[in-house]
Amino acid sequence: MSHSDELLAQVAALPALPGVYRYFDAQGALLYVGKARHLKRRVSSYFTKNHGGTRIGHMVSKIARLETTVVRSEAEALLLENNLIKTLNPKFNILFRDDKSYPYLKITGTPGAHTRGDAPGQVFPRMAYYRGAVDKKHRYFGPYPSAWAVKESIQLLQKVFRLRTCEDTVFANRTRPCLLYQIKRCTGPCVDLISPEAYAVDVQNAEAMLRGETQELLQALEQRMMAHSEKLEFEQAAEVRNQIQALSRVLHQQSIEIADDKDVDILAVRVQGGRACVNLAMVRGGRHLGDRPYFPVHVEDAAAVFEEEGEETLGDGSSPRPVEAQVLEAFIAQHYIGVPVPPVLVTSVPVDRALMEALSDQAGLRVTAIHQPREQRRAWLDMAQKNADLQLARLLAEEGSQQARTRALAEALDLPPEDLDQLTIECFDISHTAGESTQASCVVFHHHKMQSSEYRRYKIEGITGGDDYAAMRQVLTRRYSKVAEAAREAGGIDFAAPPPPDTEAAAGAVKPKGVARLPDLVLIDGGKGQVGIAREVFTALGLDLTRIVGVEKGEGRKVGLEELVFADGREKIYLGKDSAALMLVAQIRDEAHRFAITGMRAARAKVRVGGGQLEEIPGVGPKKRARLLQRFGGVRGVAAASVEDLATVEGISRDLAEEIYRALR
């Protein structure tokens, strides 16, 4: 392999310092991000060794450009490396994609509000499920692994401390207690059935329970009960006794450990068949909150590169670490970039000491990794490991099933069996309501799964409302006219890259690179009529008719009785309701229908309630827009609301409320 003199000179001039290096190919795509204690020695090894036909050799042959960043220590290099991996998505690094942000349990307001004469909503804080950026105005507990875990915790606190969960607007307008008061899940602060001082005590106790201070909480409650008894305040003593009983039942039912462990993350890893799973279980406040699986990408490529890097990359003179350790360390380094880290990590494989030191520096507290735990920690780890095994087995089974479906469809339609990973299918559907807000959808399938980033919606205009044939003609023409034009210019259609998206429909979207490509199959949700329209469009554009397949409803439109209709004159075929090929066709067709329906409904809602006015306000996304419209009954209600009312909506800060107020006036 040969590299430019300029690149080799840059490598020779590298300093003998710790840092991070990045490799790029000739097109500017990032190949790999690595760290080194000694940049010059580390990077030079790639260009002086003979890697042969290995995966790392394949990567090195593509290197056209190098970038480096010098840092003060190996720990800084490690943190920077994983920040870059997470944000830049290089091909030859293990990458854990960002999941949705973790949910929290939020208690509104700040302590002492009942003594400052604050608004009633602040004097009587509420518990709420929350997902998003945290601020200092409220108190947050978590993170939790799932929404279910947050809601379960709220239910437990309702049973024991009976804090309110209603919105501030509902709270401020109540004239009598709600059902939650009747079933003893709320103390009725909305109608002054509890004093601010007594409610504040319940809030403090709830927070103590969330922090895992259960033993101290029980002792404090017992002391309060005895104090009331000594003063002959038997009703108040009975109330505290009921709280103690409810808390004891919760602790018993939830198997909460009254021990030293308050906050612990349990991490178990499993690698098999070129795929990996890291199962993260969370213990917060001594209570096991559940777990969540993570599946990294690029495992095989990254593991091969890491293995060939050998002892020098490890930095401790040991032999190359197993793939499980690489995967787990990549997860720890990437996952805790934006997530609070607990003081104890229980892991299924040993973790590099340098990583834990870097993590401790980043978090500002000492973080310890325990590989061979005992007693309760061992039980937690065994459970996490079992779940990792089950989740990876499920993933492999699903992927195997999808590959079998792709193969079955290729066989049923006499498609070439080679390289089924590249088999590309596009499916179209039309959706409208009595001719209103007509939209067409195009969904894309390849590499044995739906590719949501390549989906496109098309706004259909200039046709008679309800004319599905005209809508189908328009969307196919817009989608494939560019393919036909590129084919004419190139003297034939190139099958090496995905088709470019429609310019109008994909405004603002990232366009796939490469020349135009016609998919292997074009699925049309419809029978002979729709397929006839597709045949006319493809004939006019000079495209291959054999690629058009219609999905015709069977007798009585029953699922499983669909037949495939062809544009090139072949007889239609029935695959059978248990056919793996039909399952794939139905999966793609149903996804196109879902995508079209959601787009049509959104467009219709924008026309009917004026949602477009809110869309233009920076910081107001779909979820916040939906909450605003639901709370105030439409854009007119939002426009008529005061800044204070707007700020009571979940996720709407004071600054954003002021921005909305100005924008709608």
Determine the Cα–Cα distance for residues 259 and 96; give it in Å rounded to an integer: 33
Q: How confident is the model at residue 167 (pLDDT cuts 50, 70, 90)?
A: confident
Q: Which amino acid is at 226?
A: M
Q: Give tens-digit pLDDT for 65-108.
A: 899 999 888 778 888 888 888 888 888 888 887 655 678 888 88
In a domain, 401, yes or no: no
Residues 371, 482 within the same domain:
no
Q: How confident is the model at residue 211 (pLDDT cuts 50, 70, 90)?
A: confident
CB 445 within 8 A of CB 522: no
The pLDDT value recorded for residue 350 is 92
Do 515 and 584 belong together in one domain? yes
Question: Percent of the chain, pLDDT > 70?
Answer: 82
Residue 185: inside a domain, yes or no? yes
Residue 312 reports pLDDT greater than 60: no
Instruction: DSSP for 52-108, please give it.
Output: TTSHHHHHHHH--EEEEEE-SSHHHHHHHHHHHHHHH--TTS-B----PPPEEEEE-
pLDDT value at 319 more than 60: no
Residue 72 to residues 16, 17, 333, 594, Cα–Cα distance (Å): 12, 8, 18, 52
Q: Which of 55, 51, 69 is nearest to 3 (CA)?
A: 51
pLDDT at 361 over 50: yes
The 3-state DSSP class for residue 373 equals coil
Query: Is the pLDDT at 259 greater than 90, yes or no?
Result: no
Confidence category of residue 499, pLDDT binned at 50, 70, 90: very low
Assess whether 162 and 239 both reside in one domain: yes
Given 227, 253, 279, the domain boundary residue is 253
Of the candidates 160, 172, 239, 237, the residue with the CA atom closest to the CA atom of residue 203: 160
**Half-sphere exposure of residue 579, counting CA atoms within 13 Å on the CB side?**
24
Same domain flag for 653 and 571: no
Are residues 368 and 453 both part of a single domain?
no
Contact 131, 140 (CB under 8 A): no
- Contact at 8 Å (CB) between 451 and 438? no
Last-in-domain residue among 219, 253, 287: 253
pLDDT tens-digit profile of 426-441? 999 988 766 666 888 9
DSSP string, 95-157: B----PPPEEEEE-S-TTGGGTT--HHHHS-BEEEEES---TTSEEE---SSHHHHHHHHHHH
Are residues 447 and 575 part of one domain? yes
| pLDDT of amino acid 475 | 92
The predicted structure's pLDDT at residue 258:
43
For residue 271, being part of any structural domain is answered with yes
| Between 286 and 547, residue with greater pLDDT | 547
User: What are the structure tokens assigned to 492, written together?
Assistant: 């034939």
pLDDT value of residue 532: 93
The answer to whether the pTM exceeds 0.75 is no
Domain that holds residue 301: 264-393
638 — pLDDT class (breaks 50, 70, 90): confident
Q: How confident is the prediction for the chain on average, in pLDDT?
A: 80
List Cβ neighbours of 458 (8 Å cut-off, separation of 6 or more): 439, 440, 441, 442, 474, 475, 478, 479, 502, 504, 505
Checking if the pLDDT of 255 tops 60, the result is no
- Taking residues 471-483, report their average pLDDT: 91
CA 43, CA 8: separation in Å to the nearest integer? 10
Q: What is the mean pLDDT of residues 213-241?
A: 77
Is residue 258 domain-resident?
no
Give dist(CA 562, CA 581) in Å, integer. Answer: 12
pLDDT tier at 498 (50, 70, 90 boundaries)? very low
The average pLDDT across 28-53 equals 84
Q: State the maximum Cα–Cα separation within the chain, in Å, rounded to a whole number.
A: 98
Determine the average pLDDT of the residues in 536-540.
92
Same domain, 438 and 550: yes
- Looking at residue 492, its pLDDT comes to 52
pLDDT tens digits for 135-155? 777 888 878 888 888 888 888
* CB-CB contact of 94 with 614 (8 Å): no
- Work out the average pLDDT over 536-558: 85
Which pLDDT score, from 0 to 100, does residue 198 have? 87
Whether residue 591 sits in one domain with residue 619: no
Are 591 and 626 members of one domain? Answer: no
Number of domains in the chain: 5
In a domain, 356, yes or no: yes
- Sorted by sequence, the CB contacts under 8 Å of residue 312 that are 6+ apart come out as 36, 41, 42, 45
Same domain, 517 and 531: yes
Tokens of 207: 């927070």
Strand partners, 91: none
Bin 597: left if φ > 0, else alpha if -120 < ψ < 50, else beta. Answer: alpha
Residue 380 lies in a domain: yes
The CATH number of whichever domain residue 588 belongs to comes to: 3.30.420.340
Do both 445 and 506 map to the same domain?
yes
Q: What are phi and psi of 264, to 5 degrees?
A: -140, 140
Task: Say what the pLDDT of residue 627 is.
Answer: 83
pLDDT at 320 (0 to 100): 59
For residue 460, give both structure tokens. 């259909």
pLDDT on residue 381: 92
Please, are residues 358 and 73 in contact by the beta-carbon 8 Å criterion? no
**Would the pLDDT of 590 be above 50?**
yes
Mean pLDDT of 369-383: 89
CA–CA gap between residue 506 and residue 512 (Å, rounded): 11
For residues 498-524, average pLDDT = 55
Final residue in a domain of this structure, among 39, 57, 88: 88
Q: Is the pLDDT of residue 509 over 60?
A: no
CATH number, domain at 642?
Answer: 1.10.150.20
pLDDT band at 313 (very low <50, low <70, confident <90, very high): very low
What percentage of the chain reaches a pLDDT higher than 90?
Answer: 15
Instruction: For residues 80 and 115, state if they share a domain.
Output: no
Phi, psi (degrees; rounded to nearest 5) at 551? -105, 100
Q: Is residue 404 part of a domain?
A: no
Give pLDDT, residue 588: 93
Residue 408 in domain: no
CATH of the domain at 282: 3.30.420
